[in-house]
A and B are shown apart, each in its own frame.
Chain A
């Protein structure tokens, strides 16, 4: 009798626990996105927004939609696009104050308190994976492109202004212009969750198990298996940025 295959979430959880036993410098976090399994539900985007309390205009994990062909031969393609966490990140050397850097685990992170908000990194990223926090909130009365009725405005307002915990710190949103407002913001592989033994929000939420996360330095991890497949590709490889996000096509 064949064994029931293990749910990839369970497998990834086990991989994660193993990785956390190692020193941070020995891990190499990698994400694999199986485009054949992505159904374009945008669940990962919503999970990311909720986890990091992202304001309007700030997006870490959009799902890019492409329409290919013309009627009646039309197909739709969905490409989730987190930060590529490049090994050679073009956004890092342009920062004039060292406010963005690859940490010892290889994840490109931000120092919100040091960032001056010059937005040079936004222009430098060839994947447009960075956005600036201009200080909007979803309950803002004058928010452009957000017409419509908003039910429970006051309750939503309280929720939006509650702190998020990116990089393991409390970042309140009191309505002023203090960080992270005015800063460049980006996906950080939910390191604050990962360090607590939880998978990134986009990974746990994916209904099709299309997003796989783990330590590529662990030969037994699921991501190590997947990135060596012949159908694993990376975006804009010709630039030599060596992204740590792989796509299975």
Chain B
């Protein structure tokens, strides 16, 4: 025990003279879900980067594409992303701005626009890399041929991108009444523009005389219906996943309303698919029917029956048909639907090309070459590039959501989004 009268040692005096700094609170790193998501996204981007390296050093050689099957996974995925992006925005705009129903959905505007922008980025990466000369994409801007629906599609998508970015910026930072009015007008414009884009994307296929399974006037309509189905699915999924106040009655009612809409659109989509299939099968013309038979009963039959119909349609319908489905149930149904619906564009794009006409059928057995095959299954390189695009889109979303805080708008008293 120290004596109070004891003279302190000289060193101890010094210590007493110098005021000790208060110890700074130690920052401890805490691993959060956001950190993990950033890590996963960057890791996926790096892994996908291998495919990108191959793409830029070896061109299209590492792909399974060829001269008889010139379009594959990337084109199908692009079409799917167009459906998702446009469908969700059209349904949202119709509900919020045109019919003015479910006003609570307006709080999701920022998150939805951000998601659509991320999907658009993924779509443009994939369709750009599908080109034999990706760095010549600007040729379509400078030398467009307006007879070509592909030129129309690219132009429509570019204009849509400008509209979407405008809507996002106005929604996020537009304070004045004039800007808000402009945002509403952009929303109105985006409806016919979006519908036109999806219909043009379908027409790109339906005008092709060389592929009988695509030909006709069915695909543009089918694309529209599919876009509305997956768009509603995406909107529902985002609403259920990201809306913060899940106890609000208005939220629960709106989710149930959207579940019913999803169920209705899914029924319309199934009917359209069945009718389209029957029209192809009934005449018994092999050039038309074989593509569908390949999709339904070919080597990748499971893609349609198990992934799409089983997981993506039957289970969601079962969940949606419950008497009073919980928002979580509806969210799961929407999630399953959008996660598996990629099987549909894949089955539209690929089998129609693998089933070749009489001339090509003999040609395949007459002249051989590395790209003169009638079959197609994506190579690892194609999957890696697709992974890169997905990771890029995911990181765009994450950046917008966590850094720019483009989140659902809720009242101050409401809970923060975690």
Contact = CB atoms under 8 A, between A and B. Distances in A.
A116 B372 contact: no
Given A132-B67, A136-B61, A57 B372 contact: yes
Contacts of A182: 59-60, 131-133
Interface stretch (A6-14, A20-28, A138-146, A204-212): A138-146
Contacts of B132: 115-119, 132-133, 181-184
Contacts of B66: 57, 132, 134
Interface stretch (B6-14, B205-213, B274-282): B205-213
Interface residues of A, number: 54
Contacts of A241: 209
Interface stretch (B169-177, B307-315, B321-329, B355-363): B355-363
Given A116-B133, A120-B148, A123-B211, A62 B70 contact: no
Contacts of B210: 90, 122-126, 128
A96 B59 CA distance: 21
A98 B133 contact: no
A57 B208 CA distance: 23
Interface in A39-58: 45, 56-58
B148 A132 contact: no
B145 interface: yes
B151 A97 contact: yes
B67 A131 contact: yes
Nearest to A93: B147
Interface in B340-370: 353, 356-357, 359-360, 362-363, 365-370
B211 to A, nearest CB: 6
B367 A97 contact: no
B144 interface: yes
Chain B interface residue number, banded? 35 or more
B171 to A, nearest CB: 32
Interface stretch (B42-50, B134-142, B230-238, B294-302): B134-142
A114 B209 contact: no
A146 B370 contact: yes
A4 to B, nearest CB: 36
A244 interface: no
Q: Dominant SS at the A interface?
A: loop
Given A64-B359, A97-B139, A116-B132, A123 B372 contact: no
Contacts of B151: 96-97
B360 A128 contact: yes
A145 B148 CA distance: 35
User: Quick one: which of A118, A125, A128, A131 has the most chain B CB within 10 A?
Assistant: A118
16 contacts: A45-B367, A57-B67, A62-B366, A62-B367, A93-B148, A97-B140, A120-B204, A122-B67, A123-B71, A128-B67, A130-B67, A132-B66, A132-B371, A134-B61, A177-B133, A182-B131
Given A123-B211, A134-B370, 8 more contacts: A56-B370, A96-B148, A120-B204, A122-B210, A132-B60, A134-B61, A145-B370, A182-B59
**Pairs A-B, 6 closest by C-beta atoms:** A117-B132, A182-B132, A119-B70, A57-B371, A57-B369, A96-B151
Interface of B: 58-61, 65-68, 70-71, 130-133, 136-137, 139-140, 143-145, 147-151, 154, 204, 207-211, 353, 356-357, 359-360, 362-363, 365-372
